[in-house]
Amino acid sequence: MTYSEINIPQRLIMTPGPVETHPLVQQAMSNRVLGQFDPAFLELMDDLKELIKVPFHTKNEQAFAVDGSGRSGLEAALIALVEEGDKILVPAFGRFALLLAEICERAGGEVILWEKDWEGPFEQADVVAKLEEVQPKILAMVHGETANGQVQAVDEIGAYCQANDVFFMLDCVATYAGVPIHVDDWGVDIAVGGSQKCVSAPAGHSFVTYNARTEEYIQSRYQKELGIGPERNERHIQSNYLDLSQLQRYWSPERINHHTESTVQVYGSHTALRLINEEGAENVWARHSLNDDAIVAGIKAMGLEIFGQEETKMSTVTPVMLPEGVNDAEFRSTLLEEFNVEVAGTFGELSGKAFRIGNMGYSSRKSNVLQLLGAIEAVMIRLGADVTRGEAVQAAMDVYANN
Ligand SMILES: *Cc1c(COP(=O)(O)O)cnc(C)c1O
């Protein structure tokens, strides 16, 4: 049996992840492997820790990568805090909050899942009132909900958590390096981002940062691996691989032996975050916002409806309601086959009724937006939808011209 050489088609990826990688990231990842304790590699790890802090806007000492996709960081963060029987409040305005609830439940926590409709995020005052009522040890929330494209304001919630000894965990996987995040000013104890969304590296790293009080708590649960020392800690973190108390020491000058870090993945994340640092976090956020304005203008000019509250829509995701008679799977496969353009479907209550446009990282650029809008319009017309013709790309071009 022989297999043919891999042949990767060229795509314009406008989904909420994974997105197109920057050519320099791709190039960096084609370099040779180094040993995980090679001084040249350790230098890259140290740089990466600092680069990770930039999109989080944090002065936290602790920031490092966890191997795996975004949920590896989410799981590591939550199981580092959750002990048997702990109360965790999880307010949900979309799908990913359910993942946080699931992880906490599996870790033996007592989860209070508090769901609202998907149209928009919570009022901060309502979350604070709920915290008063429930008195949880941990509040776990999603910053940007990728399923419905809504973003949650958290500064007042964070202030309450800091004043009342509640650990505040925030899932920033879909917003990290795309939407403004101010971990320190907002009072977030532990935040998580991912590599394959607005960072524009392949999936394989999640990025975690936490403050001093969280570090103290996590380190109170530290247990050496048996191969390193016999001491046991009865409060040890459940997982060995996703144990932040060990991972922190692996990424510190102590360099305790833990997993084998993927050197190639570090080259990729280092390059992607270095490019973001050079562009400047504020400029990166402004670029996503401008391209989002153009997408929204184009979709509206076509006469299509965007799901959810406009004021709280996240700039990195736009859910678009499918018009009468257009089938979700047929629309997306035609777009891919005819134009090489990929958009995403969605989940839960929106499944089959809307599609999602991602506007993330290296994919978030003017030429992509204009091509995307032209392609969507053509496919809509092809499938018999009653859309306004010839206006979408012009509306987007107007947004760019006026900026
Ligand atoms: C994508 C995403 C995740 C899951 O990340 P993976 O990288 O797919 O594991 C979690 N939360 C949010 C908000 C996301 O957008």
DSSP letters, 120-180, are: S---HHHHHHHHHHH--SEEEEESEETTTTEE---HHHHHHHHHTT-EEEEE-TTTTTTS-
- Which tokens hold the place of 149? 């494209």
Counting ligand 1 atoms within 8 A of each CB, the residue from 98, 103, 143, 146 with the most, and so the one to mutate, is 146
pLDDT of residue 90: 98
Q: Tell whether the model's pLDDT for residue 175 goes beyond 90.
A: yes
Residue 66 amino acid letter: V
Nearest ligand 1 atom, CA 194: 7
CB distance 36 to 260 below 8 Å: yes
pLDDT of residue 52: 98
pLDDT of residue 130: 98
For strands 62-67 and 150-151, give the pairing. unpaired
Q: Which residues contact 149 (CB under 8 A, 6 or more apart)?
A: 307, 308, 313, 314, 316, 317, 318, 319, 356
Q: What is the CA radius of gyration of the chain?
A: 22
pLDDT of residue 70: 97
For residues 146 and 266, give the distance between their C-alpha atoms in angstroms, rounded to a whole number.
25
This prediction has a pTM of 0.97
Q: How far is the CA of 354 from the centre of ligand 1 (A)?
A: 19
Q: Tell whether the model's pLDDT for residue 396 goes beyond 90.
A: yes
pLDDT of residue 267: 98
Q: How confident is the model at residue 348 (pLDDT cuts 50, 70, 90)?
A: confident
Mean pLDDT in residue range 114-142: 98
- Which tokens hold the place of 312? 């709280």
Mean pLDDT in residue range 249-276: 96
Q: How confident is the model at residue 42 (pLDDT cuts 50, 70, 90)?
A: very high
Q: Is the CB of 314 under 6 A from ligand 1?
A: no
Q: Is the CB of 60 under 6 A from ligand 1?
A: no
Q: Which DSSP letter does residue 4 get?
A: P
Q: How far is the CA of 70 from the centre of ligand 1 (A)?
A: 5
Counting ligand 1 atoms within 8 A of each CB, the residue from 71, 151, 175, 207 with the most, and so the one to mutate, is 71
Q: How confident is the model at residue 142 (pLDDT cuts 50, 70, 90)?
A: very high
Q: Which residues contact 28 (CB under 8 A, 6 or more apart)?
A: 267, 268, 270, 271
Q: Phi first, then psi: what are they for 168, rounded to 5°? A: -110, 110
Beta strands per DSSP E along 202-290: 205-210
pLDDT tens, position by position, 308-343: 999 999 999 999 999 999 999 999 999 999 999 999
pLDDT of residue 152: 98
Q: How far is the CA of 107 from the centre of ligand 1 (A)?
A: 19
Q: Which DSSP letter does residue 190 get?
A: E
Q: Tell whether the model's pLDDT for residue 224 goes beyond 90.
A: yes
What's CA 335's distance to the chain center, in Å? 25
Q: Is the CB of 173 under 6 A from ligand 1?
A: yes
Q: How far is the CA of 144 from the centre of ligand 1 (A)?
A: 10
Q: How far is the CA of 147 from the centre of ligand 1 (A)?
A: 10
Q: How far is the CA of 83 from the centre of ligand 1 (A)?
A: 23
Nearest CA to ligand 1 atom 15: 174
Within 328-365, residue ranges assigned H as helices are: 328-339
Closest alpha carbon to 379 in 371, 165, 72, 36: 371
CB distance 277 to 52 below 8 Å: no
Q: Is the CB of 313 under 6 A from ligand 1?
A: no
Q: Euclidean distance between the first and final Cα of the chain, in Å?
A: 57
Nearest ligand 1 atom, CA 174: 15
Mean pLDDT in residue range 336-363: 96
Mean pLDDT in residue range 228-241: 94
The helix or strand, by DSSP H or E, that contains position 150, with its residue range, turns out to be: strand 150-151
11 burial via Cβ count (<10 Å: 0-12, 13-18, 19+): middle
Q: Is the CB of 96 under 6 A from ligand 1?
A: yes
Nearest CA to ligand 1 atom 6: 70
For strands 150-151 and 144-145, give the pairing. antiparallel
Nearest CA to ligand 1 atom 5: 70
Q: Tell whether the model's pLDDT for residue 349 goes beyond 90.
A: no
Q: How far is the CA of 358 from the centre of ligand 1 (A)?
A: 13
Q: How confident is the model at residue 150 (pLDDT cuts 50, 70, 90)?
A: very high
Q: Is the CB of 69 under 6 A from ligand 1?
A: yes
Q: Is the CB of 70 under 6 A from ligand 1?
A: yes
Q: Is the CB of 171 under 6 A from ligand 1?
A: yes
Q: How far is the CA of 378 from the centre of ligand 1 (A)?
A: 31
Locus of tokens 């995403």: 344
The helix or strand, by DSSP H or E, that contains position 88, with its residue range, turns out to be: strand 87-92
